[in-house]
A and B are shown apart, each in its own frame.
Chain A
Amino acid sequence: MSKFKKKKGGELPAVNTASLPDIVFMLLFFFMVATVMRQNTLMIENKLPQADQIEKLDKKNLVMYIYAGKPSQNYKKQFGDEARIQLNDKFADITDIAAFIAAERASKREEEIPFLTAALKVDSDANMGLVTDIKQELRKVNALKINYTTRKGNALEGLKRR
Chain B
Amino acid sequence: MAKRSAPEVNAGSMADIAFLLLIFFLVTTTIETDSGLNRKLPPIEEVEPPIIKQKNIFQLEVNRSNQLFLKAAGDDGSVIELKDLRKLTVEFLDNGGGTGPDACQNCQGKKNPQSSDNFQKAIISLQNNRATKYDTYIAVQNEIIAAYNELRNREFKKAFPNEDMNFVEADKKYSDPRTTPREKAKLKDKIEQIKLLVPQKFSEAEPKSN
Contacts and interface: CB of A to CB of B under 8 A. Distances in A.
B29 A53 contact: no
A144 B29 contact: no
Nearest to A33: B25
A150 B139 CA distance: 10
A148 interface: yes
Interface string B26-50: 1011110111111111111000000
Contact of A155 (B15, B134, B143, B172): B143
Interface string A131-159: 11001001110111111111010011011
A37 B40 CA distance: 28
Contacts, number: 167
Interface string A32-71: 1011111000000000011111111110100100000000
Interface string B102-130: 00000000000000000000000000111
Contact of A49 (B15, B29, B138, B172): B138
Nearest to A119: B34
25 contacts: A21-B15, A24-B15, A31-B26, A35-B25, A36-B30, A49-B138, A51-B36, A51-B37, A52-B142, A53-B145, A54-B35, A55-B171, A56-B35, A117-B38, A127-B130, A135-B41, A147-B34, A147-B37, A147-B38, A147-B39, A148-B141, A150-B36, A150-B138, A155-B139, A156-B82
Interface of A: 17, 20-21, 24-25, 27-28, 31-32, 34-38, 49-58, 60, 63, 117, 119, 122-129, 131-132, 135, 138-140, 142-150, 152, 155-156, 158-159, 162
Interface string B178-210: 000000000000000000000000000011010
Contact of B18 (A25, A53, A148): A25
Contact of A31 (B25, B37, B171, B209): B25
Given A124-B133, A129-B130, A148 B36 contact: yes
Nearest to A65: B34
Nearest to B85: A156
Given A149-B35, A159-B139, A123 B40 contact: no
A139 B41 contact: yes
Nearest to A152: B35
A63 B33 CA distance: 11
A162 B133 CA distance: 11
Contact of B83 (A20, A21, A127, A156): A156
Contact of A131 (B43, B44, B137, B139): B137
Contacts of A129: 130-131, 207, 209
Contacts of B134: 49, 122-128, 131
